[in-house]
Amino acid sequence: MARVLITGASDGLGLAAARSLIADGHAVTAHVRSERRADEVSDRLAGAEAVITGDLADRQETVDVARQANLLGRFDAVIHNAGIGSNEPKKITTRDGNAHVLAINALAPFLLTALIERPKRLVYVTSGMHLQGTADVRDMNWETRPWDAEQAYADSKLVMITLAFAVARIWPDVFANAMEPGWVPTKMAGYNAPDDLSLGHVTQVWLAVGGDPRAAVTGRYFYHQQEQEPLPLAHDERFQDEVLKAMEALTSVVLPR
């Protein structure tokens, strides 16, 4: 039995992954955004070991999510599943002054990675849209560039996959990998999305607890349990260091080396 934390587990792929893990006998802690969602997920996820709450758009609440997680003891795996899409026509700024899509899709996984006791496995749920990312580390927060919602989303997912690869390099004792679920019909992606929702969570679970030797790797990128080639920039160690430095500046938290 493995102990697994899943962010964004109240619906969609996170809920599906949590149900699959519970059905297989694993101990799941579900993260949700609010107390109201905690009540909802308690009904949807009978058998969950625990539910923790916090809005990942908010820095202090994200720090508190890490605190709640650490009080429960070390996890075997953390699945960074929570995310938002590219449907913000105007830049939304969080209370901390960060672009909303950056805060949830990239800064929150960074904070949780840095602050939660190091697990054996880390899974980062990204998107094929990262291939269109540029992630200008001089203006990661879109403070000087004209806002482009689709580009901001692509950039946030490139930052996330770059984080996964940087962690794999810096923490060689951890299996840190990224995966994309495909364009599946969830609330975030839209219910007309063409990919198979029933397969979207499978790779998350496989990377988190699977005994397949193909999952016992680090610094890789997967789609439906098959290794894929990411944007080469994500493997560039200098770029990884620049991304970490930028996120450390935006969050005032340093990733332990």
Name which of 150, 178, 151 is nearest 163 in CA terms. Answer: 178
3-state SS, residue 76: coil
**Confidence bin at 195 (pLDDT 50/70/90):** low
Q: Do residues 109 and 158 lie in contact, with contact meaning Cβ atoms separated by under 8 Å? A: no
Residue 157 annotated to the active site: yes
Alpha helices in 29-130 (DSSP H): 35-44, 59-71, 100-102, 108-115
Q: Exactly one of 91, 124, 153, 221 is catalytic; which is it?
A: 153
Residues 126 and 109: their CA atoms lie apart, in Å, by: 11
Q: What is the number of residues in the chain?
A: 257
What does the pLDDT read at residue 63?
98
How does the average pLDDT of the chain come out, rounded? 92
Q: Pick the closest to residue 142 from 194, 90, 213, 180 (CA basis).
A: 90
* Whether residue 91 lies in the annotated active site: no
Domain borders along the chain are 3-251
Which pTM was predicted?
0.93
**Residue 226: phi, psi to the nearest 5?**
-115, 130
- Identify the pLDDT of residue 227: 96
Confidence (pLDDT) at 198 = 65
pLDDT (0 to 100) of residue 36: 79
- Choosing from 91, 124, 157, 221, the catalytic residue is 157
Phi and psi, residue 124, nearest 5°: -110, 120
CATH number assigned to the domain with residue range 3-251, chosen from the 4 options 3.40.640.10, 1.20.1050.10, 3.40.50.720, 3.40.50.300: 3.40.50.720
Question: Does residue 186 surpass a pLDDT of 90?
Answer: no
The pLDDT, as a whole number, for residue 225 is: 94
Q: In degrees, to the nearest 5, what angle opens at C-alpha 227 toward C-alphas 191 and 9?
A: 40
Q: Please calculate the CA angle 98-86-248 and round it to the nearest 5 degrees.
A: 30
Q: What pLDDT, in 10s, does the model give residues 87-132? A: 899 999 999 999 999 999 999 999 999 999 999 999 999 999 999 9
